[in-house]
Each structure stands twice: as structure tokens, then as C-alpha cells.
Structure 1
Amino acid sequence: MSRRAAPGLKAFARRIGRRRKRRPLCCQRRSPFAGATAHRVRRARAPGLGGSMTFSSVKSAAALALWLTAAPLMAQEATDAATANADTVIATVNGAAVTLGDLIAVRGDLPAQYQQLPDQALYDGIRQQLTDQTLLKQAAEAAGLDADPQVARAVAIQRQGLLAEFYMRREVEARITDDALRATYDARVTAAAPIPEVRASHILVAEEEKARDLRAQIDAGADFADLAIEHGTDGTKTQGGDLGYFTREMMVPEFSDAAFAMEVGAVSQPVKSQFGWHLIKLTDKRDQPRPTFEDSRAELEQALGSEIVQQVMTELRDGATVETPEDRPGLGAIRNDALIGR
């Protein structure tokens, strides 16, 4: 029924062609921990001691013991970090060296979730992968596969793809400067027209008659938030029906049209939507705050990077001689794997 409001530059998604995800209108925005209370620290009797000690002091003692145990390993890691280089040998496979540089290259291309693993787990896992690959490579060479035309073609295609990827990556990194980012920020954010947004509360019920009865109670002096808590049927009831700030396109048209036409402090007549009947109370109107440059940096880099990729390709195409016959030679044979020995 509504779209999820996103922080920072995402709030200007419409202006730069980004699509927002939708979220339920009735979703609850409060933290699930909003009602949590602090737990008192229980005290535990320490066996064999005359007094008592808190759990926090027990944890402190355990942490100290763990630090004393780990200190030699930490010292070794610090020494390794100071003396290691890309040619440091981490394994040998039938006399062939596997290096730290190889491991770091593989680690750098892992998905983000694997980057969160402990260093030792990453090290051991990647080293095992590299040693296994080296064994397989040696076996393939012993079998003469390195001279196989099919293998040579696959290797050449892989090499072409890697060279293209590294070239583009370096071009993007070189062209994303602070000046370029600030120019993008000015064009996409500073110069963008203000985006109106409102803040509203609502009471959602299933029947029009119920909505009209609640409207009459409000006219008679009943508190809107109290009625939302008592009669609302969505997750916002625990917040007195508060929906927070939203832009027009974030809600279904019936709801937005009513909310944006209201004056601050007014309560609507019942509004029908696909979700039921709403009473809407408008609590504020404003222009959406613009994200700062620093808050927008990550998204600016992504947007500018996409533009640079297109620029690089345009420059290369314009400076090259590329011939693509219109009759598409070989079109009828593109599924004939036997042509390349498969």
C-alpha cells in the first residue's frame, strides 16, 4: 500500500530514476526494543569465597583469561603483518608455491558475507581452495589439457573478461573524485525541486459505519490517538496511528489525495482504500529534508560509477573500428557445441 522511505539520497529516488520498494502502510516504525527495560544485574555466589561477586566481574575475569591465552597468537599475527609480503609462501604443492598474494586476491573477490568471517577461518578456507586448485591444475597439465584447443579457448575468454573488468574498475576509481561527486550531488540533490511530504496518523477499520462512529466521537471531543489505540486494526495502533512523514507516491492514491489536501490539525471524513476505511489526522506539512553530501556519498559513488562505465564504453566505441556483419554469420550454429570440441 505504500513504499518504504529510504534514508539519504534514496529520498530523492524519483528525481534520479531509482525505484523505491513498497512497504505496508500499516507497518510499525518503532524499534522492536522500544519497550524494553533494563535488567538488573543478578549477583552470584562464588564457590569457595566468603563474599559474592556480580556476573559482570565474572565476565571480566573470563575476558582477562581469554586475553592472556590469546596474547601470544595476537603477537604472532602482528609480527606476520609487519614482515609478510605478496610473495610470502603459505603452502607448497608438489614443489609449486602458493603465495599470500594469491590468497589476498581471492579474499578480495569474495561476497560481503564471507568478508565478515574471522581471519583464521578465511585464511584456512582459501588456502585449502588454492591448494586443491593447484593439485587439479597439475593433474590437468599432466593429462595434456593445457594444450587442448577447447581449454585454450576457455582460458583466453576468461583472460579477456578479467582484463576488461580490471581496466573498467581502474577507470572508474580514477574518475570518481571529490569534485566529480560534489558536481553530481549539486545536480541531483541541490538543484532538485523540493519534495513535499506530510506527517499523518490514521485509524484503520473494516466498516464505513465504524469509521463514521469514530469520526462522531472525535467531533464530540474524543482523543484521536486514544481511539486509534483502542479501535485501530493495523500495526500503527500502538503508536496512536502515527505513520510518520511520507511523500505522495509512498501511499495508495486514495490515501495520499486525502492527506495532501488537508490542513494541519484536521481530521478527514472516512476514506476508502483497498485496505479498509481510514480516518486521517494531518499533523505536519514540510519539504523533505535534503540529505547531506556525506550521507549521500555511497549512493553518489554508485550513480557516478554507472555513468562512468557508459562514458568509458562510449569513448572506446567511438575510437575503434568495429565491424558487425548484418547477416549474422553462423547464427544457425550457435548451439552446435561440437564445433568447439564439446
Structure 2
Amino acid sequence: MRRNTTFLSAAALAVTLALPVQAQDAPDAATVLARVGEAEITLGHALALREQLPEQFLSVPDTTLFPAIVEQLIEQELLHQHKADDLTRRQRSMLDNEVRNFTANAALSEVAIAAASDEAIAAAYEAFAAEFGQGEPETEYNAAHILVQSEAEIEEVAAELDGGRPFDEVARERSIDGSAQSGGDLGWFGEGVMIPAFEAAVMELEPGEVSPPIETQFGWHIVRLIDRRDAQVPPLEEVREDLSGEIQREAARAFVEELRAAAEVENLATDMDPSILGQRELLDD
């Protein structure tokens, strides 16, 4: 859902005095900050709006931001009361969609966060590790490369390496790849991660060997195999985010299926011509 932060105008941010509120020893979310007719604006509304502000507003001192937020909420309520009963069909439809989207996301977020507990992640990691250890171990490679744009440049690089210059030194000086800072080191990777031509060159090397120049869609490479090993189960912290995401996605899917199974859902659009989506004039009053 698009955050309804609207705008904090320069005039609002220039306000330096908060509206007078009833003194309380311990304000809470229900504390009333302002009234617009019968509508009450609470501290909860102000706190929620602050959480929705773009980052550039978060560095504004609270002494300036608080009264500006209160003024913003007052202005919003004035405009809301003026327009709420006079929305066009298009506006009402958009509002319905935004409310539906917000509440749907809130429901899914609660389910997902509850599902991805430390216990659930630990159990998922145990299952992941068990599956990882099944079958033949996969090979991982630690390689470095030097990447340049042209064949002429790679021939110069090859000549420098043949002349005895250290691979990492040449990589730092000549390579146009982001790995140049680390001497061309690409870290450990498994099969299927690199593009085929690059992977084929790596797999033909023994540790310490350097490949002849190879061409890919990225340019010209010379590859050095640093080492190879049987793939190891990555530590939990390396895969925690992936496991948590999968748990949350599965929990969300299961929750929606549970709600659907318990509800009477009738999809009346299956026989409609999809081109009807182009008839935007239907929203016109």
C-alpha cells in the first residue's frame, strides 16, 4: 500500500509551538492532541505518521517535527471532512483498494513474523543441513579473474603474467571487475553459478593454474583457480534470511488457503473478456 504521508509543507515545518493539550503525567496513544469538530487527533496518530515519514524528515528535531505533524494531521482532517462524502467513483474505488491492501498486508505480516520464530528457523536449518548432506558432495571453487574489454588488452595482461607479475597485482591494476580490489578473488562458488564459458575454464584448472584468455559477454578474462573443495553446509547465519523468508512465504500461503477454505468465495469474472480492464471510463461518474 502506498504510504499516505502526503506532504509536510514548509509552512507546517516552520511551526515551533505545539497545540495546547491537556496536561497528563503519562501520555499514551489515546491522548488527544487536537480536535476538528467531533474528530479527535491522538498521540497515536502522530506517532504513526512519524513512522511513515521519508528518511529526510527523521533528522528534523522533535521540537520542530512534533508541532508540524500535529498541524499536518489537523489539515488532513479538515480536508478529509470536506471531501469524504463527495468522493468520485474512481476515488472511492481507489480508497477501497488501499484500505483492503493495507489490512491484507497487516494480516500477512502478523502471520509471517509469528511463523519465523527462532525455533522454526532452527528446525528449517536442521532440515536444510540434512538434505544438503544427501547424495554425492558438490564441488566448490575459489577462483580469481582479470576482466578487460578487448582481446588486445587481455593479450597484454597475459604477457605481464607470463613475465612473472603477481596475478593479484595485475588484477588490481587492470581488471574492470568489482573484484579488482581483492586481487580478482571471486570467493567460493558452486557449479551453475557462473556463466558456462567461465565455469568450463575454471573446471579445467588445477589449484594454482591460470587459464588462457577466454571471451564471454562481459569481455575477456584470464582465470586463476585458487582452490577447490567439497561443498560444506553454510553456517546458519549465512542462510538465516533465506530460511526466514521461505518460512514466511509458506506461512502466508497456508494462511490465505485456510481463509479461502473457510469462506464462501465466488469468482464471477472467469467468463469476462479481460480487455474490459481498458475501459477506464467506467470509473467516471
Q: Identify the TM-score tier after normalising by the shorter chain.
A: 0.5 to 0.7
Distance 1:87 1:243 in 2: 55
User: Which of 249, 253, 256 pairs up with 2:199?
Assistant: 256
Kindly provide the CA deviation profile for residues 126-182 of structure 1, in whole angstroms up to 9, marking residues without a partner as x: 3233111111123236xx538x88877666555544443333333333333333222
TM-score, structure 1 normalization = 0.57
1:320 to 263, 269, 275: 263
Give the one of 101, 104, 109 matched to 1:164: 104
What is the aligned residue count? Answer: 254
The one-letter code of the counterpart of 1:327 is: D
Structure 2, unaligned stretches of length 5 or more? 1-23
The correspondence for 1:217, drawn from 163, 166, 177, is 163
Which piece of structure 1 moves more, 239-248 or 260-269? 239-248
Q: Distance in 1 between matches of 2:44 and 2:185?
A: 55
1:211, 1:277 within 8 Å by CA — same for their partners in 2?
A: no
Q: CA deviation at 1:311?
A: 0.6
Amino acid aligned to 1:197? E
Deviation at 1:223, TM superposition (A): 4.2
| Alpha-carbon distance change, 300 to 125 in structure 1, aligned in 2, over 3 angstroms | farther
- Please show how residues 1-342 of structure 1 align to structure 2 within 5 Å: 83-94=26-37, 96-108=39-51, 110=52, 113=55, 116-118=58-60, 120=62, 123-140=66-83, 145=86, 158-188=98-128, 191-192=131-132, 196-204=139-147, 206-207=151-152, 209-210=155-156, 213-214=159-160, 216-218=162-164, 223-226=166-169, 228=171, 232-234=174-176, 239-287=182-230, 290-325=233-268, 326-328=270-272, 335=279, 337=281, 342=285
User: Taking structure 1 as reference, are residues 103 and 237 closer, same or farther at Cα in structure 2, changes over 3 Å only?
Assistant: closer
CA contact (8 A) 1:248 1:260 kept: no
Relative to 1, partners in 2 of residues 1:168 and 1:213: Cα closer, same or farther, differing over 3 Å?
A: closer
If you compute each CA radius of gyration, which structure gives the higher value, 1 or 2? Answer: 1
Q: Deviations over 1:10-66 (max 9, x none)?
A: xxxxxxxxxxxxxxxxxxxxxxxxxxxxxxxxxxxxxxxxxxxxxxxxxxxxxxxxx
Counterpart-to-counterpart distance in 2, 1:105 and 1:255 = 51
1:210 and 1:257 map into 2 onto residues whose CA distance is 23
Residue pair 1:145, 1:151 contacting (<8 A) in 2 also: no
1:305 and 1:128, CA in 2 relative to 1: closer, same or farther beyond 3 A? farther
Q: Which amino acid aligns with 1:269?
A: P
Aligned partners of 1:238 and 1:158: how far apart in 2?
Answer: 47
Q: TM-score, normalised by structure 2?
A: 0.67
Task: Name the structure 2 match of 1:63.
Answer: none
How many Å apart are 1:92 and its aligned residue? 3.1
Rounded Cα–Cα distance in structure 2 between residues aligned with 1:94 and 1:246: 65
Structure 1, unaligned runs of 5 or more: 1-79
Query: Structure 1 residues 89 and 165 mapped into 2: Cα distance closer, same or farther (>3 Å)?
Result: same
Structure 1 pair 315–95 and aligned structure 2 pair: CA distance change class (3 A): closer
| Post-superposition offset of 1:239 | 4.8
RMSD of Structure 2 on Structure 1 (CA):
4.1
1:295 and 1:279 map into 2 onto residues whose CA distance is: 30
Quote the Cα distance in structure 2 between the aligned partners of 1:210 and 1:135.
72
Secondary structure, aligned partner of 1:98: strand
2:221 is paired with a residue whose SS is strand
Q: Is the 8 A contact 1:197 1:285 kept in 2?
A: yes
